[in-house]
């Protein structure tokens, strides 16, 4: 009998999962609490009557991954779109994807999942509420795929006096942004156009590595190529990049990062260099205390700022699934105690998707890589439906799955500096490649040369490692893949592209 699959959430992860279920002849039923698709990519202005909207990206956001690397693998982001997309273009692309693959009929909108629980026969009961009916219902599914994202629960720091500052508008105000990852830097830069002065409070002593969107005229993620990713040791690649960044964009010397770039989680930004040099963004240390008297903020290095009007916390998110018992994805108290000292965002999932103790449930989107999220969610969806259909090797024993999770943690511990020990961290290319080998769509050199010729193989090895490469071979291959790879590489490898046609 065809299996019924519950998919929770219709952001990019849920949409690509619906699509993959349809391809693999499974019945997807997607629950989405909002009345629209796209999850955090659907932006809405905050105004009087809408002062607590759903979580979304901010207005000035620009993708930090290029379109060639961000695209779904069989539905290319149009070649004539800009290299980096604003939120409207990402939203447009998501809508085009949903329309092209006719995904909307499989979504129950305005329907929030309240609870899921496993039944003795290992199927899952999903309890949900349709918002306008206000009545709780439940249904049983063969498999549940959780696609509710990792940006739901804000992670607040704890400072004395935090409650003393209230959010107001930013025009001509003195604003302190707390945090130093991508969003904090983006927001600090954007505020310089409205605020009278922007400060950035960072917990560590130095800035993180900051990579401009373009390096030597190329999008930063157009390299490493597949060849250099595997043939040049990461440490050397990191050093080359450090030198490329340091030379054209000087960091303030006292804030120069002191950890190797390759072990850190770099920020992708360019404008922040200009703001730091111009003094429109001034870096401060960690906050010690906030005081109402003179709107004063005291920092741990003993310095003080007065008359601060607004404080913005850009301090990340905690992973949370309110409809699910925590131990299902964290592995339980013992595991948490063992790893919480050294890691944050603890999850205990085989291949970052499957809880070893619980069958018939999987999570999508719980990875953090220096690379795009859309193709990772897509690859995970392909992997999960292949697993449900029995098209890939069965999973090993619970013991072996847990050993594999431990090995991954060890890898993160060994390869990442302390600030970057996020338990969901993955190396983009090796994670994608490993999954693609299991499901049979890895672009093996021999097969590529046999099917497409030597010239084209050069683009696979030395060109952009776009996810479209995972549609050249295997049961889900797509006949348009070659053409798009040629187009995406045209600017950098025109001589090869011309002779590969
Ligand atoms: C500022 C910012 C910039 C980013 N830039 C990039 C970039 O440049 N490139 C890139 O690849 N990625 C980027 N990302 C990351 C990325 O694209 C997101 O992580 C991705 O969109 C997550 O999609 P998702 O579907 O997993 O989750 P979400 O988009 O969060 O969607 C989850 C969906 O689940 C629904 N939901 C939640 N709970 C329930 C429930 N109980 N019942 C029913 N429905 C529920 C929500 O309403 C939502 O629609 C960025 C993220 C942020 C925040």
Interatomic CA distance for residues 14 and 11, integer angstroms? 5
> For 195-206, what is the mean pLDDT?
93
> For 475-499, what is the mean pLDDT?
86
The pick from 16, 87, 148, 316 for probing ligand 1's pocket by mutation, whose C-beta has the most ligand atoms within 8 angstroms, reads 148
- pTM of the complete model: 0.94
Residue 214 has pLDDT above 70, yes or no: yes
Instruction: Work out the number of other CB atoms within 10 angstroms of the CB of residue 393.
Output: 8
Mean pLDDT is lowest, of 119-123, 208-212, 358-362, 457-461, for 208-212
Q: What is the residue with the minimal CA distance to atom 18 of ligand 1?
A: 373
* Spatial contact of 272 and 185, defined as CB atoms under 8 Å apart: yes
Residue 53 has pLDDT above 80, yes or no: no
Q: Which residues neighbour 407 within 8 Å (Cβ) at sequence distance 6 or greater?
A: none
CA-to-CA dists, residue 242 to 91, 207, 211, 291, 420, angstroms: 33, 14, 9, 40, 17
Q: Which tokens in the block code for residue 419?
A: 């600030």
Ligand 1 centroid vs 342 CA: distance in angstroms?
Answer: 26
Residue 421 has pLDDT above 80, yes or no: no
The pick from 72, 373, 381 for probing ligand 1's pocket by mutation, whose C-beta has the most ligand atoms within 8 angstroms, reads 373
CA-to-CA dists, residue 455 to 393, 488, 491, angstroms: 33, 15, 16
Rg (CA), the chain: 23
Interatomic CA distance for residues 104 and 93, integer angstroms? 15
Interatomic CA distance for residues 24 and 388, integer angstroms? 9
Residue 432 has pLDDT above 90, yes or no: yes
Q: What is the residue with the minimal CA distance to atom 25 of ligand 1?
A: 11
| pLDDT confidence of residue 311 | 94
> For 95-109, what is the mean pLDDT?
98
CB distance 374 to ligand 1 below 6 Å: yes
| pLDDT confidence of residue 254 | 86
pLDDT tens-digit series, residues 368-415: 888 899 999 999 999 999 999 999 999 999 999 999 999 998 888 888
CA-to-CA dists, residue 5 to 2, 111, 117, 385, 402, angstroms: 10, 16, 14, 10, 25
| pLDDT confidence of residue 500 | 66
Return the exposure string of 286-320: e unless at least 16 CB atoms fall within 10 Å of the residue's CB, then b.
Answer: ebbebeeeebbbbbeeeeebeebbbbbbbbbeebe
> For 123-129, what is the mean pLDDT?
97
45 φ, ψ (degrees, to nearest 5): -60, 150
pLDDT tens-digit series, residues 433-453: 999 999 999 999 999 999 999
Residue 167 has pLDDT above 80, yes or no: no
CB distance 372 to ligand 1 below 6 Å: yes
């Amino acid at each position: 009998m065809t299996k019924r699959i519950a998919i929770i959430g219709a952001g990019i992860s849920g949409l690509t999962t619906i699509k993959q279920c349809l391809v693999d002849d499974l019945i997807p039923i997607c629950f989405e609490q909002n009345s629209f698709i796209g999850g955090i990519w659907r932006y809405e202005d905050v105004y009087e009557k809408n002062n607590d909207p759903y979580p979304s990206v901010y207005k000035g956001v620009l993708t930090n991954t290029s379109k060639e690397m961000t695209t779904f693998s069989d539905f290319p982001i149009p070649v004539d779109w800009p290299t980096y997309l604003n939120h409207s273009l990402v939203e447009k692309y998501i809508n085009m994807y949903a329309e092209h693959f006719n995904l909307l009929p499989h979504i129950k909108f305005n329907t929030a999942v309240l609870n899921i629980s496993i039944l003795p026969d290992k199927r899952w009961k999903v309890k949900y509420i349709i918002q306008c009916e206000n009545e709780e219902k439940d249904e049983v599914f063969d498999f549940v795929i959780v696609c509710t994202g990792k940006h739901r629960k804000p992670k607040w720091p704890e400072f004395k006096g935090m409650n003393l500052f209230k959010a107001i508008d930013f025009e001509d105000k003195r604003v302190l942004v707390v945090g130093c990852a991508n969003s904090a830097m983006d927001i600090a830069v954007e505020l310089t156009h409205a605020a009278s002065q922007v400060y950035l409070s960072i917990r560590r002593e130095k800035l993180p590595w900051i990579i401009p969107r373009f390096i030597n005229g190329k999008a930063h993620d157009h390299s490493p190529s597949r060849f250099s990713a595997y043939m040049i040791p990461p440490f050397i690649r990191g050093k080359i990049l450090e030198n490329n960044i340091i030379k054209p964009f000087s960091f303030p010397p006292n804030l120069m990062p002191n950890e190797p770039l390759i072990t850190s989680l770099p920020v992708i930004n360019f404008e922040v260099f200009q703001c730091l040099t111009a003094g429109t963004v001034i870096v401060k240390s960690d906050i010690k205390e906030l005081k109402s008297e003179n709107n004063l903020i005291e920092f741990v290095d003993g310095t003080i700022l007065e008359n601060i009007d607004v404080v913005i916390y850009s301090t990340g998110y905690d992973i949370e699934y309110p409809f699910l018992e925590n131990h299902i994805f964290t592995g339980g108290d013992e595991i948490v105690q063992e790893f919480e000292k050294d890691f944050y965002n603890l999850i205990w999932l085989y291949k970052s998707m499957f809880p070893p103790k619980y069958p018939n449930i999987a999570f999508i989107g719980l990875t953090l890589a220096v690379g795009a999220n859309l193709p990772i969610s897509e690859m995970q969806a392909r992997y999960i439906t292949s697993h449900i259909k029995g098209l890939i090797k069965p999973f090993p024993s619970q013991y072996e799955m847990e050993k594999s999770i431990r090995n991954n943690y060890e890898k993160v511990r060994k390869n990442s500096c302390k600030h970057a020990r996020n338990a969901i961290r993955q190396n983009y290319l090796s994670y994608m490649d490993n999954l693609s080998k299991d499901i049979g769509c890895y672009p093996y050199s021999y097969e590529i040369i046999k099917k497409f010729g030597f010239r084209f193989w050069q683009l696979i090895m030395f060109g952009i490692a776009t996810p479209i490469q995972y549609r050249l071979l295997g049961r889900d291959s797509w006949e348009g893949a070659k053409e798009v790879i040629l187009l995406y590489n045209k600017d950098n490898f025109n001589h090869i592209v011309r002779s590969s046609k």
